[in-house]
A = this chain, B = another copy of it.
Amino acid sequence: MIRITAKEAAEKLLKQDNIFVLMHRSPDGDTIGCGYALCMALQQIGKKARPLCADEIPQSYEYFTNGVEMQEFDAEYIVTVDVADRRLLGDLEMLYGDKVDLCIDHHGSNREFAEYGVIAADAPACAQIMPEVIEGMGAKITMQIADALFTGLTTDTGCFRYTGVTAQTHRTASYLIEKGARSGMINRLMFETKPKRQVMLEKLAMESLQYFCGEQVALICITTEMMQKSGALDHDAESIPSIPRQIEGVKVAVTVKQKADDYFRISLRTTDEIDASEICRALGGGGHRAAAGCSYHGTLKDAVDTIVRLSSEAVENAV
């Protein structure tokens, strides 16, 4: 993959047409915000563009997703946004995994699966890179594009809370608000409104909370049984990892989510002194220093034992 700047990416996009913009599976606010913002910008300057995702886009993002006109055409150029690895394309991988022309991402662990890539590893959200790409094409940041990008920025930073937030992140937020982003409404919608099923899931998950390694490792489980009992949807589980992470003295917060009988997704949140991506790499995963993930095939007990052992070792080595 050839690394290019946001400005160079804008120049490449200007030369293309009939563009598919791919988001990652289990889409979050950042991939959706960036994907739709880019499509709105491309359509604005007269190009055909279409956002694609292997999974359904939650209706809660409608306030900006309805700004994209759904056009029918055959793809001539493939872009991914906020996708660190082609496998994260889900069912779209088979169709487009080896055909990605341009990858716009903010994961230092990006697997370089595209021909060209804008990888801003210092940005806590992919949305932080997008204004430069969009304005580099000569498109305007409309109110809806601002809403989309503000959504990406705020959701991927936990409302500007996480350590990855920089002066530039706040500068981008300020700029997007000036362009009309409805920050108050978006934050209320993204952070202060939970469906009843999500609250039910949180309750069940909290009952599974366990401590290890002198209470420096906290672990929470989400089983398929909990998902069924609560009626929760996949994205309702996104708030769970913050529960163990907020506990005083906890250095590694682990969330184990059952995806099938013998298949688990593990997500880690760590404090400054522990590298989450290093722990996850031991299980074939990756991510950022403070937040990373991996998968596990086996029983729930083995998944828990393994990640607790690796996390405890990391805690002990960090002392």
**Chain A residues at the B interface, C-beta cutoff of 8 Å:** 159-171, 173-175, 177-178, 183-185, 187-188, 191-196, 199, 202-203, 206-207, 209, 211, 215, 242-243, 245-249
Contact = CB atoms under 8 A, between A and B. Distances in A.
Contacts of A177: 165-167, 170
A162 B184 contact: yes
22 contacts: A159-B159, A159-B160, A160-B173, A160-B187, A161-B188, A161-B191, A166-B177, A168-B174, A170-B174, A174-B174, A193-B248, A194-B248, A195-B248, A196-B247, A196-B248, A196-B249, A199-B206, A199-B243, A199-B246, A202-B206, A203-B206, A203-B207
Contacts of A196: 211, 215, 247-249
A164 B196 CA distance: 25
A163 B192 contact: no
Given A161-B191, A193-B248, 17 more contacts: A160-B173, A163-B183, A164-B184, A166-B177, A167-B173, A167-B174, A167-B178, A170-B171, A171-B174, A192-B245, A192-B246, A193-B246, A194-B247, A196-B249, A199-B206, A199-B209, A199-B243
A215 B162 CA distance: 33
A192 B161 contact: yes
A211 B192 CA distance: 18
Nearest to A190: B161
A29 to B, nearest CB: 14
Contacts of A174: 167-171, 174
A183 B159 CA distance: 12
A273 B85 CA distance: 44
A109 B160 CA distance: 29
